[in-house]
Amino acid sequence: MNKDKIKKLLQDVHDGKVDVDRAMHELKAFPYEDLGFAKIDTHRHIRRGFPEVIFCQGKTTEQIVHIINHFAESEQTIMATRAGREVFEAIKKVRTDAAYHETARIILIGKLPENKTDKSVAVVSAGTSDMPVAEEAAVTAEVMGNPVERLYDIGVAGVHRLLDNREKLFSANVIVVVAGMEGALASVVGGMVDKPVVAVPTSVGYGASFKGIAALLSMLNSCAPGVAVMNIDNGFGGGYYAGLINLMGVDK
């Protein structure tokens, strides 16, 4: 971020040379901070209403800590996904307000925002083995300011478990369905509710599941209308998309 440009822009607003709407447009156009190995999108929260998220997989611990240090002046919540405990321990040394959601493999730095709406996102998982992806979706939606209802291990292998939770499904505003194996749960839920369903296939399953491809194809071929499909194991994408839908019309 070029602080001199921001300072000049604010001075121009103060002097009446630039109006507020034009200044907001200029701020949205500021690109990034170049760290050499990474280019941090420092104004994403202005454009998108949600700050840049650090994807930790494939990055070194030193790189992740360096990126987080460059957010130090910001009061916004910092979110790091696909993070192991060793990364969390390193971050904790420089940011004492860091918290680790181990099942979701998410590190949060700063306060969890208050809910922006009373409408809820339901996150449903077929099996216990799908919980890491489901929790990634649930925590992501919560960080965006959404109330989240977790309904885990209610897959079609024992469909009575799903039916026992139907009232909770009916009361949700958006539903994220996380399932591996054949991925049938998304179609079943989609055929029960009148709400958007965000389907997230997981890589859970035996050999013929092809590391989630079978579930992905089943969800893409769902005969139930109103089902949108994320990529394999993309709990973050599912939670984010469901969160955006849930917050439509809400003053962010």
Between 71 and 202, name the one with better pLDDT. Answer: 202
Confidence tier at 71 by pLDDT (50, 70, 90): confident
- Rounded to whole angstroms, how far apart are CA atoms 39 and 41? 6
Q: What is the pLDDT of residue 210?
A: 95
pLDDT above 90 for 219: yes
Q: What is the pLDDT of residue 33?
A: 63
Q: In the chain, which residue ranges form alpha helices assigned H by DSSP?
A: 3-14, 20-29, 44-48, 61-69, 85-94, 131-143, 159-163, 166-171, 185-190, 213-220, 235-246
Q: Is the pLDDT of residue 2 over 60?
A: no
Task: Give me the pLDDT at residue 1, please.
Answer: 44
| CATH fit for domain 121-246, picks 3.30.565.10, 3.40.50.1970, 3.40.50.740, 3.40.50.300 | 3.40.50.1970
Residue with tokens 């839908």: 245
**Domain range summary for the chain, segments of one domain joined by +:** 31-109, 121-246
139 vs 36, more confident: 139
Local confidence band at 50 (pLDDT 50, 70, 90 cut-offs): confident
Residue-wise pLDDT for 124-170, tens only, equals 999 999 999 999 999 999 999 999 999 999 988 888 998 888 999 99
